[in-house]
Structure 1
Amino acid sequence: MKKLAVTATAVLFVINSFTASAQAQDQQKAWADYMTPGEVHKMMAKWDGKWKEDVTFWMQPGAAPTKSTATCVNKMVMGGRYQQSTHTGNMMGQPFEGQGTLAWDNARKILISTWIDNMGTGIMYMEGTWDEASKSATMKGKTTDPMTGKEMDVKQTFTVVNDNTQKMEMYMTHEGQEFKTMEITFTRTK
């Protein structure tokens, strides 16, 4: 009986060892898949470089638009895992600077965007999907409404028109109504 108990314990130990080893291998593979830049990252890397921005901005629904120009420099960082965008220009007669980060989350299969600029003190966060057929992304998130101090919904559409032209449209929700606040046409500079 004692010998049977020792044998059963040894068999359970071997089974648990194989199970633990298989789980460790699965975990290592999951981390490797999560951290390895893939096809979407390669696509984002094609957007690296300097871009001219033609900006149209609306302060409120029905208001006359304001136009300005700016520049954007995109570069992949952290081994090609994220794209960092640095923007400089003028907005509403003031110097403007902004910085964005774009990520493709391999595990969740979504785009994630963060944005900060010198026209505020908060961080805008958005998530969305990439549509390969239309070469566009629709991202939704939250930002702070400086008038109320509360979060408000934002939506951004981003379209790759061609290798040298991109378009971004930004929408915010004001009093329950979504309206277009910004449109930027990006043209690659050489």
Structure 2
Amino acid sequence: MKKTSLFALGALVCLALPAMAEEPGMNAEAMAAWQEMMTPGPHHEHMAKMAGDWTVHSKMMMDPSAPPMETDGTAHMEMEANGLFLRETVHSPMMGMPWEGHGVFGFDKGLNKHVAIWYDSFGSMIMNFEGGCTDNCGQVTLVSDYTDPMTNQPAQMKIVSSMTDADHMTNKMYSVADGKDTMMGEILYTRKK
């Protein structure tokens, strides 16, 4: 069913492109720009290296005076939409309950920024992130301005993702307040073999 739907969508796009090219304002230059925007680039190629199945070990710092809460789970990542976006699904227990999180990560060529959304089973909000990368995209830093569900006040979160090698990644989460980063958690990813 999924392959049939993808084929049908692809066929519709292929049929629509020639018709759109004839639309007023859609000249060869505009078509070339559109083609460029829909073609994966180096940032997307880096994200594709993360596709696969992973075990995850999470450390969450709920109270600075107490040891971190540690859990183990799994993550599945796959590229979508012609290799432009990486979708992640994580399953792990959290505070004695099942927890599920979903993220979509991309590189917006128009903004020249890494972008992401995140949502999980512990809240009804969707977090939006933007950021950049260093070290040939070996490290991606994303920032989200959101409303803290505990305080109902504006807050900021930063995630620093590092891929140390083909089989290991780390996500570090920070609360950002008054120009200071406070670590909230760390997730260690190991690729399943």
Residues 104-183 of structure 1 aligned to structure 2 (within 5 Å): 104-133=107-136, 135-173=138-176, 177-183=180-186
Task: State the TM-score, normalizing by the size of structure 2.
Answer: 0.81
Structure possessing the higher radius of gyration over alpha carbons: 1
Q: Does 1:94 align with 2:97?
A: yes
Distance 1:150 1:117 in 2: 20
Q: Give the CA deviation at 1:134.
A: 7.0
Partner of 2:31: 28
Counterparts in 2 of 1:115 and 1:22: CA distance versus 1, 3 Å = closer
What SS does the corresponding residue of 1:113 show, helix, strand or coil? strand
**Structure 1 residue runs without a partner (length 5+):** 1-20
Counterparts in 2 of 1:133 and 1:36: CA distance versus 1, 3 Å = closer
| 1:30 counterpart letter in structure 2 | A
Residues 36-55 of structure 1 aligned to structure 2 (within 5 Å): 36-55=39-58
For 1:112-162, what per-residue CA distance to the aligned partner results, in whole angstroms no more than 9, with x for missing partners? 011000011101111111113471011111233122212310101000100
Distance 1:80 1:53 in 2: 24
The 8 Å contact of residues 60 and 181 in structure 1, kept in 2 or not, is answered as no
What SS does the corresponding residue of 2:34 show, helix, strand or coil? helix
Task: State the TM-score, normalizing by the size of structure 1.
Answer: 0.82
Q: CA RMSD in A?
A: 2.0
The 8 Å contact of residues 100 and 116 in structure 1, kept in 2 or not, is answered as yes
**Structure 2 residue runs without a partner (length 5+):** 1-23
Distance 1:62 1:176 in 2: 22
Q: Give the CA deviation at 1:175.
A: 7.5
- The alignment of Structure 1 onto Structure 2 pairs a total of residues equal to 170
What SS does the corresponding residue of 1:157 show, helix, strand or coil? strand
- Structure 1 runs (4+) deviating above 6 angstroms are none
Distance 2:73 2:178 in 1: 30
| 1:180 counterpart letter in structure 2 | M
Distance 1:67 1:129 in 2: 29
For 1:27-73, what per-residue CA distance to the aligned partner results, in whole angstroms no more than 9, with x for missing partners? 22211111111122122112111001010001144442100011100
What SS does the corresponding residue of 1:59 show, helix, strand or coil? coil
The 8 Å contact of residues 56 and 66 in structure 1, kept in 2 or not, is answered as yes
The 8 Å contact of residues 61 and 179 in structure 1, kept in 2 or not, is answered as no
